[in-house]
Structure 1
């Protein structure tokens, strides 16, 4: 913006100078306690907020505000799933972090989901992209493996002290997405789920109690939205915090490559429900309109969770 000149009234300047001469420190004393009180009130309202206030640019960014590192977990060192890679913020100066386990799809490995690791972890989460025991494991098995991975992450992993075990979520692609729905039924204490172009023979999920964002793809020929994502979403309880995002013109494999639309809604959903960070509500409610990125979006706004 062009700079604007500021006109100053001489009389006001004189009045201010006179007031300062009488009480030179009176203006400064109340400010610091007031600021501390506001900060304390905000922290008390939500102690799980991590990172600066978000913007449209920040949720679209390739990397968030947190520096991250990663550690590999051998399948030989774990049971109940096939090992994987943990991505985590390097500093815990702001406290511990919520965590998310992410499962790949049928015949795929963790490498197909690797881009979520740094992108989500740098926003203030511990992210565990996992391998399954076999690449042919079905959704119910993948659901159990996601939970086994979260248990390892919070109880035995080298980064367990960085994780808040009460704030956990699951994601997954295809059969891994179907597995994330299975995991929510088995463990309703989860805080968030994001099935990505999910596939499951079970089409109805009225028992789910976990805030769920389902991401479908308009041109999915493997798990068509008409027989998977849409009925999954419709069957979730009407009282649940839930959303359905359909990627415009996308295929079943859209979640396997870095995608800004998937990332910004995933970040916003995880922040809103794992961190209870209402600063991210603006990116979910009111629901976004149909665009070149989104062919359909449904939501139960406003969210209550």
Structure 2
């Protein structure tokens, strides 16, 4: 743009002053027009980007926002008694209080063997405050095996989207599952049984089935380097390796962690769970930067493997 006015403006002494002054008019006008067009293009591009993904919720993420104990949404909760549902053992729904942003994606979370929803309750408000409806469930019995827990996760999602008091806040086409230990094994079962799920996150998962080539849901498997109950060598790593190579998948191994680490508030689990759910339930590519390039080993990460860039 600068070369044009320099070449078209007469040099000093090459003509009457009035000619030089007159020549600036078209140039300045052209510059003004170009600036206006650039501004219009910027506005149109921004509008187009917003229109491309109507599911984005909340401001652009930062390192501080994905590691914070609470996101930008105020959160409400409602208890679902065991006797009021069938197919699972009740639970607690956490959801953004405001309805200004329309509907939200949702995730159901199962506890592990012998555990109740209180063991995973910290994930409820933490994820909901980032713009999700979150259902932490109790299982029918605390000894239910992974296949049963998978069925119960799906029953909980069906209740959440069709019957619950917050069903109008949930986008039933954008759902995910999470779970700890046998609940993590149930997460794999649910993803296998319902390919329409958008995201799955098994946490230090336990399952006798080590092969999951049927799964079509983007899956983040979280293991712990010090897990002696569901060691990564016999559980999380085989789970990850058995997933289709074409799938959006990742393996996060927590450093200096153990089987019960997901039962306590954990910044690393939260950061990558939020990013995975945002990226695949909300299709929010603003969170891609926390997943790709692959995170490097650190004080909190023993190992991270995965597919990058993501295709979904």
**TM-score normalised by length of structure 1:** 0.90
Q: Structure 2: how far apart are the matches of 1:42 and 1:294?
A: 33
Secondary structure class of the residue paired with 1:107: coil
Deviations 1:143-173 (A, max 9, x none): 0000000000000000000000000000000
Partner of 2:121: 114
Is it true that 1:132 corresponds to 2:139 in the alignment? yes
Partner of 1:182: 189
Deviations 1:208-252 (A, max 9, x none): 100000000001000000000000000000000000000001110
Partner of 1:285: 292
Matches within 5 A, 1:262-273: 262-273=269-280
Q: Using the TM superposition, give the Cα deviation of residue 38 of structure 1 relative to its aligned residue in structure 2, in angstroms.
A: 3.4
- Which of 232, 236, 241 in structure 2 is aligned with 1:234? 241
Q: Structure 1: how far apart are the matches of 2:38 and 2:76?
A: 39
Deviations 1:94-126 (A, max 9, x none): 221000000000000000000000100000000
Partner of 1:276: 283
Secondary structure class of the residue paired with 1:289: coil
Q: Structure 1: how far apart are the matches of 2:98 and 2:46?
A: 21
Secondary structure class of the residue paired with 1:255: helix
Secondary structure class of the residue paired with 2:108: strand
Partner of 1:194: 201
- Which of 97, 105, 108 in structure 1 is aligned with 2:112? 105
Q: Using the TM superposition, give the Cα deviation of residue 37 of structure 1 relative to its aligned residue in structure 2, in angstroms.
A: 2.5
Matches within 5 A, 1:9-24: none
Partner of 1:12: none
Unaligned runs of 5+ in 1: 1-14
Partner of 1:62: 69
Which stretches of structure 1, 4 residues or more, deviate above 2 A after TM superposition?
A: 26-40
Partner of 2:310: 303
Deviations 1:6-45 (A, max 9, x none): xxxxxxxxx9xx99xx99xx89987986565334212221
Q: Structure 2: how far apart are the matches of 1:129 and 1:66?
A: 18
Partner of 1:152: 159
Unaligned runs of 5+ in 2: 1-20
Q: Structure 1: how far apart are the matches of 2:224 and 2:261?
A: 7
Q: Using the TM superposition, give the Cα deviation of residue 261 of structure 1 relative to its aligned residue in structure 2, in angstroms.
A: 0.3
For this pair of structures, how many residues does the alignment match? 285
> Residues 31, 69 of structure 1: CA spacing in aligned structure 2 closer, same or farther, 3 A cutoff?
farther
Secondary structure class of the residue paired with 1:266: helix
Partner of 1:7: none
Deviations 1:175-218 (A, max 9, x none): 00000000001100000000000000001101110000000000
**RMSD of aligned residue pairs (Cα, Å):** 1.8
Secondary structure class of the residue paired with 1:92: coil
